[in-house]
Structure 1
Amino acid sequence: MRHVSQNPGRQSGGLLQALGAYFIWCLFPLYFAALHTVAPFEVVAWRLLFTLPFCLVMVAVLRQGPQLRAALGNPRILGALALSGLLIGTNWLVYVIAVLEGHVLAASLGYYINPLVNVLAGTIFLRERLTRLQWLAVILAGVGVAMLAWGAIDTLWISLSLALSFAGYGLVRKLAPVEALPGLTVETLVLLVPALGMLGWQAASPAGLAMGQAPTTSILLACAGIVTGVPLLLFASAARRLDFSVLGFIQFVTPTGVFLLGLFAFGEPLKRVQVYCFLFIWTAIAVFCWDLLSRRRKVAAA
């Protein structure tokens, strides 16, 4: 079935939601670096567990209980959300491991690769059509990403895992006929058992659980639900409104922010190849945005 673009009003709202999500995700390395004393499995497990009550409270406040029950009672939607839940859970785990192990730039590269995967997924699975200028932007960004990847072969598995898992998540959420909040609630329900299993495994380890040992750490872990839920809700809502290729391309905001944090906050060295990569990618972004604005003006004029 051919994908049909949403109307301009929905696209505009989706763009603001996407930018909000991407900006919040820029700051995630700082948040998870503050939890450097906590095992990655425990961080992800508490993140999952505390996201669920946040979602349930929001469902009650926004009165979306009927939509949640409808999603839970539909096997097709439930299966899709189980898949998207596993994909985002995998993404969280790899991301936290990367940050806690000091591979912030590898995480950044993953989210540089992800927009290209999104654009290709949009054209292949959703039959979204790109203009010549947009294809030029994709090629320029691809060259930049390839240069960056060549200089990070040893941690490329981190980058590819992040890119593919998040692209898969976005595609499933794009196709699943369920709104953002009920969908995220079902996803966290699906991941509840794995989260409890990870906590049990960590509790049995010699280090034990970090929760309850230090007030600051415990507060940060408890806030992980809100920190996780808000940008995911924004992203899932944007995915329902924007063309998938557009959603993917503007995602370059996040890895650029993470990249700059890696350089200035975490002290990772800047290589010449990374400067060249930035030139290619930001030229690509300028071309892509110019084309979007030009076509929007023509539509408005018509």
Structure 2
Amino acid sequence: MSEQDRQRRGVLYGLGAYGLWGAVPLFWPLVARAGSLELLAHRVVWSLVISALLALVLLPRGWFQRLASRRTLLMLGLAAAVVSVNWGLYIWAVNHGHVLETSLGYYINPILSILVGVVVLGERMAALQWVSVGLAALAVVVLTVEYGRLPWISLVLAASFATYGVMKKQVNGGAVETLTVESALLAPVALGYLVLLQVQGGSTFGALGWGHSLLLVATGVVTVVPLLFFAASATRLPLSTLGLLQYLAPTLQFLLGVWYFGEQMSTGRWIGFGLVWLALMLMSGHGLHRANASRRERLVAEPV
């Protein structure tokens, strides 16, 4: 397979991953009768079932040994706790009419990820990146005035996912194996909660028909399939291309929030979102310029 074909396939995988993430607000209202905590618990349990089966089929024997050190398990445990907050809040927000705030959170996430890298990993930011951070902060101020409160859903989603990303950088493992371990670490709590619900008569699994129960099982599919597409895309595409594709998900969520769910976009919200979009354009432009400069340097360095 030529490099061009490889990258073309990578783009298709990336579109699949971010397209599914962008469309997922359509899924959660289908199972809204279960409640956010029950949905989160099912998502953890069925993600474990599916990812464990995939690990059994796709990964070499002994794959867990690479992740079995105390430090790695601790990092994955912390990552699992953080992403569970992200998953749970996202489900709650979508099912309570805050799709636009979720999209804003994932627009802000790349900017916040850079800021977390500076604070936690000691990375350095260029001037344009600082401008992007400043514009994002101004957007938060504008939206705080508009909402009459902090856009806390957006901030918690962005902060939790950025923190999750930094933690995952410390672990040398692929998407399937790390998701399997993370889900396994969360599963005892999730299973305990589901058993408690069943005992108390509050569980919707099996109580609202087979269609509802199958949709609860599908929470694992909704979680695992986009991750597989993303992993396949990440191995085939340069980071600059992947960085541009990531904006597809919040853009689809934004369009769904406005056109499908009918959430209102006032003048203040347009200004706030506009500032974030400007910040992302500056940051993306800087990233592309740096990637092109690096590519030119490699070409100059290659012997004729």
Q: Same fold (TM over 0.5)?
A: yes
Runs of 4+ off more than 6 Å = 11-19, 236-250
Q: Residues 1-302 of structure 1: matches in 2 within 5 Å?
A: 21-71=17-67, 73-154=68-149, 156-211=151-206, 213-233=208-228, 251-302=246-297
- Structure whose CA Rg is larger: 2
| TM-score using structure 2 length | 0.82
Deviates more, 1:84-93 or 1:121-130: 121-130
For 1:235 and 1:102, the matched residues in 2 are separated by 27
| CA drift at 1:84 | 0.7
For 1:254 and 1:142, the matched residues in 2 are separated by 22
List per-residue Cα deviations over 1:68-100 (Å, max 9, x = no partner): 2331x3111111111111111121111111222
List per-residue Cα deviations over 1:169-203 (Å, max 9, x = no partner): 11100112222221111001001111112212322
Distance 1:51 1:149, change over 3 A: same
For 1:240 and 1:173, the matched residues in 2 are separated by 16
RMSD: 3.3
Show structure 1 runs of 5+ residues with no match: 1-10
Show structure 2 runs of 5+ residues with no match: 1-6, 298-304
| CA drift at 1:165 | 1.9
For 1:237 and 1:129, the matched residues in 2 are separated by 29
For 1:171 and 1:150, the matched residues in 2 are separated by 31
SS at match of 2:151: helix
Q: How many pairs align? A: 291
Deviates more, 1:78-87 or 1:218-227: 218-227
One-letter code aligned to 1:266: F
List per-residue Cα deviations over 1:246-269 (Å, max 9, x = no partner): 988975443332222111111111
One-letter code aligned to 1:167: A
One-letter code aligned to 1:165: S
SS at match of 1:23: helix
One-letter code aligned to 1:29: P
One-letter code aligned to 1:51: S
For 2:183 and 2:133, the matched residues in 1 are separated by 34
| TM-score using structure 1 length | 0.82
| Contact 1:119–1:249 (8 Å) recurs in 2 | no
| Contact 2:244–2:284 (8 Å) recurs in 1 | no
Deviates more, 1:176-185 or 1:264-273: 176-185
| Contact 1:46–1:224 (8 Å) recurs in 2 | yes
| Contact 1:26–1:255 (8 Å) recurs in 2 | yes
Distance 1:113 1:282, change over 3 A: closer
